[in-house]
């Protein structure tokens, strides 16, 4: 059975979101896009790139795949296969299309079937269409599904703020300098690999001061500002898909399941940005009544019966495929590496 439909995604920010579109010096600003507002006037609005969502899911799906193919040790793949799984790969060689090869890859690797990629000498299209995520704001009301429209919505600009940070120059911390070699005391290498202290040089003190001055002229301390979308803001996006097998839908659920272990979007997650809660609804045949599909929040995650069954079918497939790999690993590598 093949499934076509639409996954509607509602993202709620639990911490500030950084998604950079432009940088001026040390300051970064949110990505924006030109649209026509409800009155038909051109305006700018923040968007979170659909390409970023797709890349996030591809990364999570690749990790889920290789982790579940592992048994006693981590599965390692050649660099070109690594790039194919995580980045979509690249094409090379004679530019001819091998339909049979693409079909074999789709059958063997559901992850590649749904995300696509450059395989050998051809581009294999994926089965997902991932939209940009739009904020639920005044400027986008006419672009949102009915259930997400709010007559009293505020402008997206009222949802933004600026966060300033300082990167400290630790070399100026006297408590830490005991671990730092004075630049003036470092040894100079001589031909043949020998080293000599600068203290033997008649001009040692002058050269020592020059080195200190040079080191101090490159301070590591910096203050920078990041424009963010504030916690509590909501975004809406969609993923359309066509002709997914049950195991391919399972591969998509598995990607979300892996991502849910660290549910963040955007940049600067290392300082706590981009944490989100997610709700999604699935409409089979696109315009059917949507049903709850999967959700992620601060406490746990929810998978509907359909999502759980799809993921379980993918896990069963990976279990059988893992046994196949143990005897035919080279064949898999040649196949997804483009060798026929």
- If you write DSSP's letter for every residue of 154-205 in order, what string do you get? PPGGGGEEEEEEEE--GGG-TTTGGGS--GGGSPEE-GGG-EE-GGGSTTHH
Domain identity same for 134 and 239: yes
222 in Cβ contact with 213 (< 8 Å) = no
The answer to whether residue 252 sits within a structural domain is yes
Domain identity same for 192 and 235: no
- pLDDT score recorded for residue 278: 97
* Alpha-carbon gap, residue 50 to 56, rounded angstroms: 10
The answer to whether residue 311 sits within a structural domain is yes
Both tokens of 27, joined, read: 């300051």
Number of domains comprising the chain? 2
* Alpha-carbon gap, residue 115 to 61, rounded angstroms: 9
DSSP state of 267: B
Domain identity same for 206 and 237: no
DSSP state of 142: G
* Alpha-carbon gap, residue 96 to 238, rounded angstroms: 33
Domain identity same for 50 and 189: no
Domain identity same for 130 and 238: yes
Instruction: Tell me which residue of 190, 184, 244 sits closest to 211, measured CA to CA.
Output: 184
Domain identity same for 146 and 7: yes
Domain identity same for 6 and 89: yes
Domain identity same for 193 and 242: no
- Domain end position, chosen among 220, 235, 253: 220
Question: Which residue range forms the structural domain that includes residue 268?
Answer: 2-162+227-336
Both tokens of 326, joined, read: 């143990």
- pLDDT score recorded for residue 323: 67
The answer to whether residue 167 sits within a structural domain is no
The answer to whether residue 172 sits within a structural domain is no
Domain identity same for 110 and 6: yes
Domain identity same for 11 and 81: yes
Residue 116 DSSP SS3: coil
Both tokens of 244, joined, read: 């997914």
* Alpha-carbon gap, residue 193 to 197, rounded angstroms: 13
- pLDDT score recorded for residue 85: 84
- Per-position pLDDT tens, the chain of length 340: 788 999 999 999 999 999 998 877 778 899 999 999 888 899 999 999 999 999 999 999 999 988 887 766 677 777 777 888 888 876 665 545 455 665 666 677 888 889 988 766 677 788 999 999 999 999 999 999 999 999 899 999 999 999 887 766 666 666 666 666 765 555 444 455 444 444 455 566 666 666 655 555 555 567 778 899 999 999 999 999 999 989 999 999 999 999 999 999 999 898 899 999 999 999 987 677 889 999 999 888 899 999 999 999 988 988 877 665 555 555 555 555 444 4
Domain identity same for 213 and 293: no
The answer to whether residue 173 sits within a structural domain is no
Quick one: 314 exposed, middle or buried, by C-beta within 10 A (0-12, 13-18, 19+)? buried
* Contacts of range 265-271, beta carbons closer than 8 Å, 24 or more positions apart: 265/11, 265/17, 265/19, 265/48, 265/52, 265/53, 265/56, 266/17, 266/18, 266/19, 266/48, 266/52, 267/18, 267/19, 267/20, 268/18, 268/226, 271/165
Domain identity same for 129 and 101: yes
The answer to whether residue 170 sits within a structural domain is no
30 in Cβ contact with 20 (< 8 Å) = yes
């Amino acid at each position: 059975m093949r499934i076509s439909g639409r996954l509607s995604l509602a993202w709620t920010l639990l911490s500030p979101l950084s998604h950079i579109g432009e940088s001026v010096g040390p300051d970064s600003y949110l990505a924006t896009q030109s649209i026509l507002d409800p009155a038909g006037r051109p305006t700018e609005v923040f968007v979170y790139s659909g390409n970023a969502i797709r890349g996030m899911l591809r990364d999570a799906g690749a990790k889920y795949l290789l982790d579940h193919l592992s048994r006693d040790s981590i599965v390692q793949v050649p660099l070109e296969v690594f790039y194919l799984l995580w980045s979509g790969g690249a094409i090379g060689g004679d530019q001819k299309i091998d339909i049979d090869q693409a079909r074999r890859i789709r059958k063997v690797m559901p992850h590649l079937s749904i995300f696509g990629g450059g395989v050998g000498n051809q581009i294999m299209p994926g089965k997902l269409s991932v939209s940009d995520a739009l904020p639920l704001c005044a400027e986008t009301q006419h672009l949102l599904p009915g259930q997400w429209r709010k007559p009293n919505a505020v402008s997206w600009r009222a949802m933004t703020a600026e966060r300033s940070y300082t990167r400290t120059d630790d070399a100026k911390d006297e408590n830490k300098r005991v671990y730092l070699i004075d630049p003036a005391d470092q040894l100079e290498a001589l031909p043949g690999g020998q080293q000599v202290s600068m203290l033997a040089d008649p001009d040692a003190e002058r050269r020592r001061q020059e080195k200190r001055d040079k080191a101090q002229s490159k301070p590591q301390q910096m203050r920078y500002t990041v424009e963010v979308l504030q916690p509590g803001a909501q975004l809406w996006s969609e993923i359309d898909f066509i002709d997914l097998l049950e195991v391919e839908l399972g591969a998509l659920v598995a990607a979300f399941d892996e991502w849910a272990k660290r549910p963040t979007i955007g940049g600067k997650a290392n300082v706590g940005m981009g944490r989100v809660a997610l709700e999604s609804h699935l409409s089979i045949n696109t315009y059917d009544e949507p049903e709850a599909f999967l959700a992620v929040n601060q406490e746990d995650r929810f998978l509907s019966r359909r999502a759980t069954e799809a993921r379980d079918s993918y896990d069963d497939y990976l279990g059988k495929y893992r046994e196949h790999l143990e005897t035919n690993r080279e064949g898999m590598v040649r196949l997804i590496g483009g060798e026929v």
